[in-house]
Structures are given as C-alpha cells and as structure tokens.
Amino acid sequence: DAGITQSPRHKVTETGTPVTLRCHQTENHRYMYWYRQDPGHGLRLIHYSYGVKDTDKGEVSDGYSVSRSKTEDFLLTLESATSSQTSVYFCATYRTGDVAGYTFGSGTRLTVV
Amino acid sequence: SQKIEQNSEALNIQEGKTATLTCNYTNYSPAYLQWYRQDPGRGPVFLLLIRENEKEKRKERLKVTFDTTLKQSLFHITASQPADSATYLCALDNNQGGKLIFGQGTELSVKP
C-alpha cells in the first residue's frame, strides 16, 4: 500500500449525515479511482478521475460525489449517508505502460447506522 | 450484459501442489486481463497483467494464460505454500483509462 493513504480507516456515522473519505497518493499518478467492495458484488467502480478537476461517474455513482483539486488528493463524499452505503471503500491509482496495474490503498470501512 | 465469473467455491489444496484458478467472461473484449491478490482487511495487490495477444505470462511461481476464443484466463500457482492463502481477483481492462471490471474473487487455502 506504499504511496496511497486512505483516511479514516474506520468510521461509523448516522443515516442522513454527510461523510467525506480522503485518498492521498505520492505516486504522481494521473488516474485515480474509488471502488466499493461488498460481499457478493466484488469491487465496483464509484467514480474516477483522469486528472485535476477531471472526474467522471462509474457503475455505482448514485449518492456519491468526488473532487480532485490536486493531483495527489481524491475525495469521495456521501452527501447524505444511507445504510446501503455501508461498505469497504478502496482508493486506487493506475500506472500505465508495460507494467500497468492498480495500486490500492488499505481501505476505509464505513458503517452507516 | 458484461459478466465476469470466478470459481465461487473456495479452493483448498495441499502445500506443494499446483493451484489453478479460473476466470471466465462474457460480452466483453478486454485488451488486458489482470490478476490481484487480496488478504483479509487489506487492499488488492497487483500480481500480473496479460495482453489479448499474449497466450501465457509467467512470474516466479505464477503463470497466467489468456484464451480470447474461450473467453477464459487460468491462474496457476506452482509449488503452493500456506503463505499463498488469500483471495485472488481477476479484472478486465478494455484499455479505456484503467476502468477495470473485477470478478468476485476465489478464496484459496493452502494447507501444510
């Protein structure tokens, strides 16, 4: 997980409250992603970014927004948390070239009660 | 719709044997196929990438095959060790900015 830091690692929040998850990278990678991982569904893409202020929706974007004001930071916001958003959230960066692949953070376990 | 399937059942093997994991996909033409390892409470870790024009790729005890006709990839771990116990994920990449589609993973358990 070297190079990608997610915060917080764990969070419990109440339904209806806004929540922001943070991802910080030191890899200087252009591409960044937010995934959620749930039993029976695997990893699903929420939002992604191709660069500063350049973001787009993924497969399960409803209820989520993102912002990327600097190359190294990618924020995921749950505008009004619901119990269906209880999940483990992973941030990832993507390196291109001959050894293309993702580097994932350690994840944030979010519980919405 | 696009679908990617991995062995849903956990795979239990004896130390020293070869583990073979399967990844099948439908309605998709990936440019690349990737394999990741995930340990409990951790993020996935990239292992190998194989391109659509490659049949086989090796890295130490790992071997990946990619058959675009069968729409299948096989992931082999030779001389398996208990430390290889983890969940293994396959992911498809159609070369559109790294947006991967992941399978649900296969849990591998290697017994001493």
Per-residue pLDDT of chain A (113 residues; tens, 9 = 90+): 458 999 999 999 999 999 999 999 998 999 999 999 998 888 999 999 999 999 999 999 999 999 999 999 999 999 999 999 999 999 999 887 766 788 999 999 999 99
Predicted pLDDT at A51: 93
Indicate whether B103 pLDDT > 90: yes
Of B34, B97, B105, Cβ closest to residue A101: B34
The residue among A36, A26, A39, A45 whose CA lies nearest residue A110 is A36
* Residue B104 touches partner A, C-beta closer than 8 Å: yes
Judge whether B54 and B106 are in contact, CB under 8 Å. no
B90 versus A99: which is more confidently predicted?
A: B90
Residue A8: asked if its preceding bond is cis (omega within 30°), the reply is yes
> What are residue A41's DSSP bridge partners?
none
Predicted pLDDT at A2: 55
* Residue B100 touches partner A, C-beta closer than 8 Å: yes
The residues in A 19-78 lying below 8 A from B, measured between CB atoms, are 31, 33, 35, 40-45, 48, 50, 58
Of A31, A41, A44, Cβ closest to residue B98: A31
- The pLDDT confidence band at residue B107, using thresholds 50, 70 and 90, is very high
Torsion sign (Cα): B79, B100, A86, A39: negative
Predicted pLDDT at A87: 98
Q: Mean of the pLDDT values across residues B62-84?
A: 96
Predicted pLDDT at B28: 84
- Chain B residues in contact with A33 (beta carbon < 8 A): 98-99
- The pLDDT confidence band at residue B1, using thresholds 50, 70 and 90, is confident
* Residue B36 touches partner A, C-beta closer than 8 Å: yes
Count contacts between A and B (CB, < 8 Å). Answer: 59
Of A42, A101, A106, Cβ closest to residue B43: A106
- Chain A residues in contact with B44 (beta carbon < 8 A): 43, 90, 102, 104
The residue among B85, B70, B86, B79 whose CA lies nearest residue B23 is B70
- The pLDDT confidence band at residue B66, using thresholds 50, 70 and 90, is very high
The residues in B 1-30 lying below 8 A from A, measured between CB atoms, are none
Of B34, B44, B105, Cβ closest to residue A104: B44
Q: Mean of the pLDDT values across residues B11-23?
A: 96
d(CA A54, CA A40): 31
